[in-house]
Structure 1
Protein backbone atom coordinates (compact mmCIF):
# COMPACT_ATOMS: atom_id res chain seq x y z
CA UNK A 1 0.00 0.00 0.00
CA UNK A 2 1.49 3.31 -1.09
CA UNK A 3 0.39 6.28 0.99
CA UNK A 4 1.24 9.86 0.16
CA UNK A 5 1.10 13.29 1.70
CA UNK A 6 2.78 15.06 4.58
CA UNK A 7 -0.24 14.94 6.91
CA UNK A 8 -0.44 11.18 6.47
CA UNK A 9 3.26 10.84 7.33
CA UNK A 10 2.84 13.06 10.41
CA UNK A 11 0.02 10.84 11.67
CA UNK A 12 2.20 7.78 11.22
CA UNK A 13 5.12 9.40 13.04
CA UNK A 14 2.92 10.66 15.86
CA UNK A 15 1.35 7.24 16.29
CA UNK A 16 4.70 5.45 16.51
CA UNK A 17 2.97 2.07 16.62
CA UNK A 18 4.70 -1.29 16.28
CA UNK A 19 1.61 -2.50 14.41
CA UNK A 20 2.61 -0.38 11.42
CA UNK A 21 4.74 -2.44 9.06
CA UNK A 22 6.53 0.23 7.04
CA UNK A 23 8.86 -1.03 4.32
CA UNK A 24 10.37 2.34 3.47
CA UNK A 25 9.61 6.04 3.13
CA UNK A 26 10.51 7.80 -0.09
CA UNK A 27 11.17 11.53 -0.35
CA UNK A 28 11.59 13.61 -3.47
CA UNK A 29 15.19 14.11 -4.59
CA UNK A 30 14.47 17.62 -5.83
CA UNK A 31 16.83 20.34 -4.70
CA UNK A 32 15.79 23.11 -2.33
CA UNK A 33 12.89 21.24 -0.73
CA UNK A 34 11.00 22.90 2.08
CA UNK A 35 12.20 22.97 5.65
CA UNK A 36 9.03 21.07 6.57
CA UNK A 37 9.97 18.15 4.33
CA UNK A 38 13.53 18.09 5.66
CA UNK A 39 12.22 17.95 9.22
CA UNK A 40 9.91 15.06 8.35
CA UNK A 41 12.81 13.17 6.78
CA UNK A 42 14.90 13.72 9.91
CA UNK A 43 12.09 12.42 12.12
CA UNK A 44 11.85 9.28 9.96
CA UNK A 45 15.58 8.67 10.25
CA UNK A 46 15.49 9.13 14.02
CA UNK A 47 12.72 6.54 14.25
CA UNK A 48 14.85 4.08 12.34
CA UNK A 49 12.69 3.89 9.25
CA UNK A 50 14.35 3.09 5.94
CA UNK A 51 14.46 6.34 3.96
CA UNK A 52 15.12 6.63 0.22
CA UNK A 53 15.07 9.46 -2.30
CA UNK A 54 13.48 9.33 -5.74
CA UNK A 55 12.50 11.72 -8.51
CA UNK A 56 8.95 13.14 -8.44
CA UNK A 57 8.02 10.99 -11.42
CA UNK A 58 8.75 7.79 -9.50
CA UNK A 59 6.72 8.99 -6.53
CA UNK A 60 3.83 9.60 -8.91
CA UNK A 61 4.21 6.16 -10.47
CA UNK A 62 4.03 4.56 -7.04
CA UNK A 63 1.01 6.37 -5.62
CA UNK A 64 -0.65 7.56 -8.87
CA UNK A 65 -1.15 11.00 -7.40
CA UNK A 66 0.53 14.13 -8.71
CA UNK A 67 -0.06 15.97 -5.44
CA UNK A 68 2.07 13.58 -3.39
CA UNK A 69 3.73 16.54 -1.61
CA UNK A 70 7.16 14.99 -2.03
CA UNK A 71 6.66 11.92 0.14
CA UNK A 72 5.38 8.37 -0.33
CA UNK A 73 5.10 5.75 2.44
CA UNK A 74 5.40 2.10 1.44
CA UNK A 75 3.18 0.37 4.00
CA UNK A 76 2.90 -3.42 3.97
CA UNK A 77 -0.77 -3.42 5.02
CA UNK A 78 -3.26 -1.42 7.06
CA UNK A 79 -3.21 -2.44 10.75
CA UNK A 80 -6.79 -3.53 11.43
CA UNK A 81 -7.80 -4.22 15.03
CA UNK A 82 -9.43 -7.48 16.09
CA UNK A 83 -13.06 -7.06 17.10
CA UNK A 84 -12.28 -8.85 20.38
CA UNK A 85 -9.68 -6.19 21.16
CA UNK A 86 -12.25 -3.42 20.66
CA UNK A 87 -14.58 -5.24 23.05
CA UNK A 88 -11.76 -5.50 25.60
CA UNK A 89 -11.05 -1.78 25.29
CA UNK A 90 -14.73 -0.98 25.84
CA UNK A 91 -14.75 -2.91 29.12
CA UNK A 92 -12.15 -0.55 30.54
CA UNK A 93 -13.88 2.70 29.62
CA UNK A 94 -17.22 4.06 30.78
CA UNK A 95 -17.78 6.16 27.63
CA UNK A 96 -17.23 4.21 24.44
CA UNK A 97 -19.24 5.29 21.35
CA UNK A 98 -18.85 3.03 18.32
CA UNK A 99 -19.48 3.20 14.58
CA UNK A 100 -20.86 0.23 12.64
CA UNK A 101 -20.75 0.44 8.84
CA UNK A 102 -23.04 -2.06 7.15
CA UNK A 103 -21.71 -2.50 3.58
CA UNK A 104 -20.62 1.09 2.95
CA UNK A 105 -18.89 0.73 -0.41
CA UNK A 106 -17.51 4.08 -1.52
CA UNK A 107 -13.89 4.65 -0.40
CA UNK A 108 -14.39 8.41 -0.21
CA UNK A 109 -17.40 7.92 2.06
CA UNK A 110 -15.38 5.60 4.27
CA UNK A 111 -12.52 8.09 4.48
CA UNK A 112 -14.88 10.96 5.32
CA UNK A 113 -16.67 8.87 7.95
CA UNK A 114 -13.36 7.96 9.57
CA UNK A 115 -12.36 11.62 9.69
CA UNK A 116 -15.67 12.63 11.31
CA UNK A 117 -15.52 9.70 13.72
CA UNK A 118 -12.09 10.70 15.01
CA UNK A 119 -13.06 14.37 15.22
CA UNK A 120 -16.19 13.52 17.21
CA UNK A 121 -14.40 11.20 19.62
CA UNK A 122 -15.82 7.88 18.48
CA UNK A 123 -13.78 5.02 19.90
CA UNK A 124 -13.88 2.44 17.12
CA UNK A 125 -15.21 1.58 13.67
CA UNK A 126 -16.51 -1.83 12.62
CA UNK A 127 -17.01 -2.70 8.96
CA UNK A 128 -18.32 -5.79 7.18
CA UNK A 129 -15.98 -8.19 5.42
CA UNK A 130 -18.12 -8.55 2.28
CA UNK A 131 -19.46 -5.80 0.02
CA UNK A 132 -17.63 -3.05 1.91
CA UNK A 133 -14.87 -0.60 1.14
CA UNK A 134 -11.68 -1.42 3.01
CA UNK A 135 -8.94 0.97 4.14
CA UNK A 136 -6.88 1.78 1.04
CA UNK A 137 -4.46 4.57 0.24
CA UNK A 138 -7.39 6.63 -1.08
CA UNK A 139 -9.32 6.13 2.15
CA UNK A 140 -6.30 7.13 4.25
CA UNK A 141 -5.85 10.26 2.13
CA UNK A 142 -9.51 11.32 2.46
CA UNK A 143 -9.28 10.76 6.21
CA UNK A 144 -6.17 13.03 6.21
CA UNK A 145 -4.29 10.23 7.90
CA UNK A 146 -6.74 9.94 10.78
CA UNK A 147 -7.45 6.32 9.88
CA UNK A 148 -4.41 5.48 12.01
CA UNK A 149 -5.91 7.15 15.09
CA UNK A 150 -8.94 4.92 15.58
CA UNK A 151 -9.30 1.13 15.86
CA UNK A 152 -10.95 -0.28 12.73
CA UNK A 153 -12.19 -3.86 12.74
CA UNK A 154 -13.60 -6.16 10.06
CA UNK A 155 -16.37 -8.64 10.98
CA UNK A 156 -18.04 -11.35 8.93
CA UNK A 157 -21.53 -11.07 10.44
CA UNK A 158 -22.83 -7.62 11.37
CA UNK A 159 -26.09 -8.94 12.84
CA UNK A 160 -24.19 -11.19 15.23
CA UNK A 161 -21.81 -8.31 16.00
CA UNK A 162 -24.80 -6.23 17.10
CA UNK A 163 -25.88 -9.03 19.44
CA UNK A 164 -22.42 -9.28 20.97
CA UNK A 165 -22.31 -5.53 21.57
CA UNK A 166 -25.71 -5.65 23.23
CA UNK A 167 -24.47 -8.45 25.48
CA UNK A 168 -21.58 -6.15 26.41
CA UNK A 169 -23.96 -3.38 27.50
CA UNK A 170 -24.15 -1.33 24.30
CA UNK A 171 -27.35 0.21 22.94
CA UNK A 172 -27.43 0.03 19.16
CA UNK A 173 -29.02 2.65 16.88
CA UNK A 174 -29.60 2.05 13.17
CA UNK A 175 -29.90 5.12 10.95
CA UNK A 176 -32.87 4.94 8.58
CA UNK A 177 -35.38 7.34 7.03
CA UNK A 178 -38.34 5.89 9.00
CA UNK A 179 -36.76 6.21 12.44
CA UNK A 180 -37.28 8.55 15.36
CA UNK A 181 -35.62 11.99 15.04
CA UNK A 182 -32.06 11.65 16.29
CA UNK A 183 -32.33 14.74 18.49
CA UNK A 184 -35.17 13.15 20.47
CA UNK A 185 -32.91 10.29 21.57
CA UNK A 186 -30.97 10.35 24.83
CA UNK A 187 -27.85 8.41 23.97
CA UNK A 188 -26.14 6.28 26.63
CA UNK A 189 -22.40 6.24 27.29
CA UNK A 190 -22.02 3.03 25.31
CA UNK A 191 -23.85 3.64 22.06
CA UNK A 192 -23.21 2.11 18.65
CA UNK A 193 -24.52 3.85 15.53
CA UNK A 194 -25.11 1.76 12.41
CA UNK A 195 -24.89 3.40 8.99
CA UNK A 196 -25.82 1.49 5.87
CA UNK A 197 -25.05 1.09 2.22
CA UNK A 198 -25.19 4.20 0.02
CA UNK A 199 -28.12 2.86 -1.98
CA UNK A 200 -29.96 0.34 0.21
CA UNK A 201 -29.22 1.61 3.70
CA UNK A 202 -28.89 -0.71 6.69
CA UNK A 203 -29.82 -4.28 5.77
CA UNK A 204 -33.14 -5.58 7.13
CA UNK A 205 -31.74 -8.24 9.46
CA UNK A 206 -29.18 -5.85 10.91
CA UNK A 207 -31.81 -3.17 11.38
CA UNK A 208 -34.09 -5.64 13.16
CA UNK A 209 -31.32 -6.39 15.65
CA UNK A 210 -30.92 -2.72 16.59
CA UNK A 211 -32.48 -1.33 19.76
CA UNK A 212 -33.69 1.85 18.06
CA UNK A 213 -34.13 3.23 14.55
CA UNK A 214 -33.14 6.88 14.26
CA UNK A 215 -33.45 9.37 11.42
CA UNK A 216 -32.36 12.84 10.37
CA UNK A 217 -35.51 14.86 9.56
CA UNK A 218 -35.25 16.92 6.37
CA UNK A 219 -37.34 18.71 3.78
CA UNK A 220 -39.78 16.53 1.86
CA UNK A 221 -38.20 17.35 -1.49
CA UNK A 222 -34.87 15.92 -0.35
CA UNK A 223 -34.47 12.16 -0.73
CA UNK A 224 -31.58 11.56 1.68
CA UNK A 225 -28.18 12.79 2.71
CA UNK A 226 -24.89 11.25 1.70
CA UNK A 227 -23.94 8.61 4.27
CA UNK A 228 -20.81 10.52 5.31
CA UNK A 229 -22.87 13.69 5.88
CA UNK A 230 -25.39 11.73 7.95
CA UNK A 231 -22.56 10.19 9.92
CA UNK A 232 -21.11 13.58 10.85
CA UNK A 233 -24.48 14.85 12.10
CA UNK A 234 -25.09 11.80 14.27
CA UNK A 235 -21.55 11.55 15.60
CA UNK A 236 -21.45 15.16 16.76
CA UNK A 237 -24.88 14.94 18.38
CA UNK A 238 -23.59 11.91 20.27
CA UNK A 239 -20.48 13.87 21.22
CA UNK A 240 -22.59 16.82 22.39
CA UNK A 241 -24.68 14.62 24.66
CA UNK A 242 -21.82 12.59 26.08
CA UNK A 243 -19.80 15.72 26.85
CA UNK A 244 -22.67 17.28 28.77
CA UNK A 245 -23.89 19.51 25.97
CA UNK A 246 -20.60 21.31 25.49
Structure 2
Protein backbone atom coordinates (compact mmCIF):
# COMPACT_ATOMS: atom_id res chain seq x y z
CA UNK A 1 0.00 0.00 0.00
CA UNK A 2 1.34 3.43 -0.98
CA UNK A 3 0.99 6.60 1.07
CA UNK A 4 2.16 10.20 1.07
CA UNK A 5 4.69 11.41 3.65
CA UNK A 6 5.25 15.14 3.92
CA UNK A 7 7.54 17.55 5.75
CA UNK A 8 11.29 17.89 5.36
CA UNK A 9 12.54 15.77 8.29
CA UNK A 10 10.09 12.89 7.70
CA UNK A 11 10.97 12.84 3.98
CA UNK A 12 14.70 12.85 4.73
CA UNK A 13 14.26 9.82 7.01
CA UNK A 14 12.32 7.77 4.45
CA UNK A 15 14.91 8.72 1.83
CA UNK A 16 17.69 7.48 4.11
CA UNK A 17 15.87 4.17 4.42
CA UNK A 18 15.32 4.03 0.65
CA UNK A 19 11.54 3.74 0.74
CA UNK A 20 10.65 6.65 -1.56
CA UNK A 21 9.13 5.86 -4.95
CA UNK A 22 8.45 9.41 -6.15
CA UNK A 23 9.24 12.88 -4.83
CA UNK A 24 7.19 16.04 -5.28
CA UNK A 25 8.78 19.43 -4.56
CA UNK A 26 7.26 22.90 -4.62
CA UNK A 27 8.33 24.97 -7.62
CA UNK A 28 11.06 27.46 -6.85
CA UNK A 29 11.71 26.03 -3.39
CA UNK A 30 15.42 25.23 -3.14
CA UNK A 31 16.32 26.67 0.25
CA UNK A 32 17.84 24.93 3.28
CA UNK A 33 17.27 21.19 3.71
CA UNK A 34 15.45 20.93 0.37
CA UNK A 35 18.91 20.79 -1.22
CA UNK A 36 19.75 17.75 0.92
CA UNK A 37 16.48 16.13 -0.14
CA UNK A 38 17.30 16.73 -3.81
CA UNK A 39 20.77 15.22 -3.33
CA UNK A 40 19.47 12.08 -1.60
CA UNK A 41 16.79 11.60 -4.25
CA UNK A 42 19.26 11.98 -7.12
CA UNK A 43 21.64 9.46 -5.53
CA UNK A 44 18.80 6.92 -5.65
CA UNK A 45 17.57 7.95 -9.12
CA UNK A 46 14.16 8.89 -7.71
CA UNK A 47 11.85 10.80 -10.03
CA UNK A 48 11.45 14.40 -8.81
CA UNK A 49 8.39 16.36 -9.94
CA UNK A 50 7.94 20.07 -9.29
CA UNK A 51 4.38 21.12 -8.39
CA UNK A 52 2.67 24.29 -7.23
CA UNK A 53 1.82 24.79 -3.56
CA UNK A 54 -1.90 24.19 -4.06
CA UNK A 55 -1.30 20.71 -5.46
CA UNK A 56 1.08 19.82 -2.62
CA UNK A 57 -1.50 21.10 -0.12
CA UNK A 58 -4.01 18.64 -1.60
CA UNK A 59 -1.55 15.73 -1.44
CA UNK A 60 -0.71 16.53 2.19
CA UNK A 61 -4.37 16.88 3.13
CA UNK A 62 -3.82 20.44 4.24
CA UNK A 63 -0.87 19.52 6.45
CA UNK A 64 2.33 21.58 6.68
CA UNK A 65 4.35 19.90 3.93
CA UNK A 66 7.20 22.48 3.96
CA UNK A 67 7.41 22.24 0.19
CA UNK A 68 8.00 18.50 -0.17
CA UNK A 69 5.85 15.36 -0.38
CA UNK A 70 7.07 11.79 -0.96
CA UNK A 71 5.15 8.77 -2.24
CA UNK A 72 6.38 5.79 -0.22
CA UNK A 73 5.68 2.13 0.34
CA UNK A 74 3.53 1.47 3.41
CA UNK A 75 5.15 1.31 6.84
CA UNK A 76 6.61 -2.10 7.63
CA UNK A 77 5.50 -3.42 11.01
CA UNK A 78 7.74 -5.83 12.90
CA UNK A 79 7.20 -9.02 14.88
CA UNK A 80 7.63 -9.00 18.65
CA UNK A 81 10.11 -11.88 18.49
CA UNK A 82 12.34 -9.92 16.14
CA UNK A 83 12.69 -6.81 18.28
CA UNK A 84 13.43 -8.58 21.57
CA UNK A 85 16.33 -10.56 20.11
CA UNK A 86 19.59 -8.84 20.96
CA UNK A 87 17.72 -5.74 22.12
CA UNK A 88 18.61 -3.17 24.76
CA UNK A 89 15.67 -4.42 26.82
CA UNK A 90 13.55 -1.27 26.59
CA UNK A 91 10.02 -1.37 25.16
CA UNK A 92 6.90 0.77 25.43
CA UNK A 93 3.35 -0.53 25.07
CA UNK A 94 0.47 1.79 24.18
CA UNK A 95 -3.04 0.72 25.10
CA UNK A 96 -5.58 2.23 22.69
CA UNK A 97 -3.75 5.47 21.95
CA UNK A 98 -5.97 7.05 19.29
CA UNK A 99 -4.32 10.39 18.52
CA UNK A 100 -1.65 10.13 15.78
CA UNK A 101 0.14 13.15 17.25
CA UNK A 102 0.53 11.30 20.54
CA UNK A 103 1.90 8.23 18.78
CA UNK A 104 4.28 10.39 16.76
CA UNK A 105 5.52 12.29 19.82
CA UNK A 106 5.99 9.03 21.75
CA UNK A 107 7.90 7.52 18.83
CA UNK A 108 10.20 10.54 18.71
CA UNK A 109 11.00 10.25 22.43
CA UNK A 110 11.32 6.46 22.27
CA UNK A 111 13.83 6.67 19.45
CA UNK A 112 15.82 9.37 21.29
CA UNK A 113 15.81 7.35 24.53
CA UNK A 114 17.10 4.22 22.79
CA UNK A 115 13.95 2.13 23.10
CA UNK A 116 13.74 -0.93 20.86
CA UNK A 117 10.12 -0.69 19.87
CA UNK A 118 6.52 0.32 20.42
CA UNK A 119 3.74 -2.22 20.90
CA UNK A 120 0.19 -1.26 19.95
CA UNK A 121 -3.07 -3.26 19.93
CA UNK A 122 -4.77 -4.35 16.73
CA UNK A 123 -8.07 -2.71 17.64
CA UNK A 124 -9.00 0.80 18.82
CA UNK A 125 -5.54 2.19 18.19
CA UNK A 126 -4.04 4.60 15.69
CA UNK A 127 -1.66 3.01 13.20
CA UNK A 128 1.38 4.63 11.58
CA UNK A 129 0.19 7.23 9.07
CA UNK A 130 1.30 10.55 7.56
CA UNK A 131 0.36 12.49 10.71
CA UNK A 132 2.48 10.12 12.82
CA UNK A 133 5.44 10.63 10.49
CA UNK A 134 5.06 14.39 10.69
CA UNK A 135 4.62 14.63 14.46
CA UNK A 136 7.55 12.27 15.05
CA UNK A 137 9.77 14.38 12.76
CA UNK A 138 10.52 11.14 10.89
CA UNK A 139 11.68 9.24 14.00
CA UNK A 140 8.98 6.61 13.45
CA UNK A 141 11.06 5.42 10.50
CA UNK A 142 13.87 4.46 12.88
CA UNK A 143 11.95 2.56 15.55
CA UNK A 144 10.08 -0.72 15.30
CA UNK A 145 6.31 -0.88 15.78
CA UNK A 146 4.56 -4.15 16.64
CA UNK A 147 0.81 -4.82 16.37
CA UNK A 148 -0.49 -7.40 18.85
CA UNK A 149 -3.97 -8.93 19.11
CA UNK A 150 -4.11 -9.12 22.91
CA UNK A 151 -1.91 -6.92 25.10
CA UNK A 152 -2.46 -9.01 28.23
CA UNK A 153 -1.11 -12.07 26.41
CA UNK A 154 1.78 -9.98 25.10
CA UNK A 155 2.64 -8.93 28.65
CA UNK A 156 2.85 -12.60 29.65
CA UNK A 157 5.18 -13.28 26.70
CA UNK A 158 7.44 -10.42 27.77
CA UNK A 159 7.55 -11.63 31.36
CA UNK A 160 8.80 -15.00 30.13
CA UNK A 161 11.57 -13.13 28.31
CA UNK A 162 12.64 -11.47 31.56
CA UNK A 163 10.89 -8.11 31.18
CA UNK A 164 9.39 -6.22 34.11
CA UNK A 165 6.14 -4.51 33.18
CA UNK A 166 5.36 -1.05 34.60
CA UNK A 167 1.96 0.50 33.97
CA UNK A 168 1.50 4.27 34.25
CA UNK A 169 -1.47 5.37 36.36
CA UNK A 170 -2.25 8.28 38.69
CA UNK A 171 -2.78 5.89 41.60
CA UNK A 172 0.62 4.23 41.24
CA UNK A 173 3.88 4.50 43.17
CA UNK A 174 6.08 7.55 42.59
CA UNK A 175 8.32 6.58 39.66
CA UNK A 176 11.33 8.18 41.38
CA UNK A 177 11.15 5.46 44.02
CA UNK A 178 10.98 2.54 41.60
CA UNK A 179 13.91 0.53 40.26
CA UNK A 180 13.53 0.70 36.48
CA UNK A 181 16.82 -0.98 35.61
CA UNK A 182 17.11 -4.08 33.45
CA UNK A 183 14.61 -5.27 30.87
CA UNK A 184 11.61 -2.95 31.08
CA UNK A 185 8.34 -2.47 29.25
CA UNK A 186 6.38 0.69 30.09
CA UNK A 187 2.62 0.62 29.50
CA UNK A 188 0.78 3.87 28.72
CA UNK A 189 -3.02 3.93 28.70
CA UNK A 190 -5.66 5.58 26.56
CA UNK A 191 -5.73 9.40 26.49
CA UNK A 192 -9.05 9.57 28.33
CA UNK A 193 -9.63 6.28 30.14
CA UNK A 194 -6.08 5.35 31.10
CA UNK A 195 -5.13 1.70 31.57
CA UNK A 196 -7.79 -0.95 31.12
CA UNK A 197 -8.45 -3.33 34.03
CA UNK A 198 -7.11 -6.49 32.35
CA UNK A 199 -3.85 -4.85 31.27
CA UNK A 200 -3.41 -3.04 34.58
CA UNK A 201 -3.75 -6.21 36.68
CA UNK A 202 -1.10 -7.97 34.57
CA UNK A 203 1.54 -5.28 35.18
CA UNK A 204 4.25 -6.05 37.75
CA UNK A 205 3.91 -2.60 39.25
CA UNK A 206 1.88 0.57 38.70
CA UNK A 207 3.86 3.80 38.72
CA UNK A 208 2.88 7.46 38.64
CA UNK A 209 4.34 10.90 38.04
CA UNK A 210 3.79 13.22 41.04
CA UNK A 211 1.72 16.35 40.31
CA UNK A 212 2.08 19.61 42.22
CA UNK A 213 0.05 22.01 40.09
CA UNK A 214 -3.67 22.52 39.60
CA UNK A 215 -3.74 20.20 36.56
CA UNK A 216 -3.71 16.62 37.84
CA UNK A 217 -2.83 14.75 34.66
CA UNK A 218 -0.39 14.84 31.75
CA UNK A 219 -0.81 14.26 28.04
CA UNK A 220 -0.02 10.62 27.20
CA UNK A 221 3.06 11.55 25.17
CA UNK A 222 4.41 13.83 27.93
CA UNK A 223 4.00 11.12 30.56
CA UNK A 224 5.57 8.52 28.29
CA UNK A 225 8.59 10.77 27.61
CA UNK A 226 9.24 11.43 31.30
CA UNK A 227 9.13 7.73 32.14
CA UNK A 228 11.21 6.62 29.15
CA UNK A 229 14.02 9.01 29.98
CA UNK A 230 13.91 7.91 33.61
CA UNK A 231 14.42 4.33 32.40
CA UNK A 232 17.35 5.54 30.30
CA UNK A 233 18.83 7.53 33.20
CA UNK A 234 18.73 4.63 35.62
CA UNK A 235 20.25 2.19 33.14
CA UNK A 236 22.96 4.65 32.08
CA UNK A 237 23.95 5.10 35.71
CA UNK A 238 24.47 1.35 35.95
CA UNK A 239 26.97 1.55 33.06
CA UNK A 240 28.90 4.38 34.73
TM-score scaled by length of structure 1? 0.90
| Aligned equivalent of 1:59, options 46, 56, 61 | 56
| Aligned equivalent of 2:115, options 113, 119, 122 | 122
Distance 1:172 1:65, change over 3 A: same
Q: Residue deviations 1:44-83, cap 9 Å, x none?
A: 1211333222222211111123632221011231121122
Distance 1:52 1:199, change over 3 A: same
Deviating above 3 A after TM superposition, structure 1's stretches of 4 or more consecutive aligned residues are none
Query: What RMSD, in angstroms, separates the aligned Cα atoms of the two structures?
Result: 1.8
- Structure 2: distance between partners of 1:237 and 1:44: 38
Q: Which residue of the partner structure matches residue 73 of structure 1?
A: 70
| Aligned equivalent of 2:23, options 22, 25, 50 | 25
Q: Which residue of the partner structure matches residue 193 of structure 1?
A: 186
Q: Which residue of the partner structure matches residue 37 of structure 2?
A: 40
Residue 177 of structure 1 and its aligned partner are, at CA, apart by: 1.1
| Aligned equivalent of 1:170, options 140, 163, 167 | 163
| Aligned equivalent of 2:9, options 3, 7, 10 | 7
TM-score scaled by length of structure 2? 0.92
Q: Which moved more, 1:190-199 or 1:106-115?
A: 106-115
Indicate if the aligned counterparts of 1:127 and 1:155 stay in contact, CA closer than 8 A.
yes
- Structure 2: distance between partners of 1:138 and 1:10: 16
Q: Which runs of 5+ in 1 are unaligned?
A: none
Q: Which runs of 5+ in 2 are unaligned?
A: none
Q: Residue deviations 1:111-131, cap 9 Å, x none?
A: 111111111111110011111
SS in 1 for 2:5: strand
Q: Which residue of the partner structure matches residue 180 of structure 1?
A: 173
- Structure 2: distance between partners of 1:217 and 1:39: 43
Indicate if the aligned counterparts of 1:115 and 1:144 stay in contact, CA closer than 8 A.
yes
Task: Give the alignment of 1:65-144 within 5 angstroms.
Answer: 65=62, 67-86=64-83, 90-93=84-87, 95-144=88-137
| Number of positions where the alignment pairs a residue of Structure 1 with one of Structure 2 | 237
Indicate if the aligned counterparts of 1:171 and 1:188 stay in contact, CA closer than 8 A.
no
Distance 1:220 1:63, change over 3 A: closer
- Structure 2: distance between partners of 1:67 and 1:124: 27
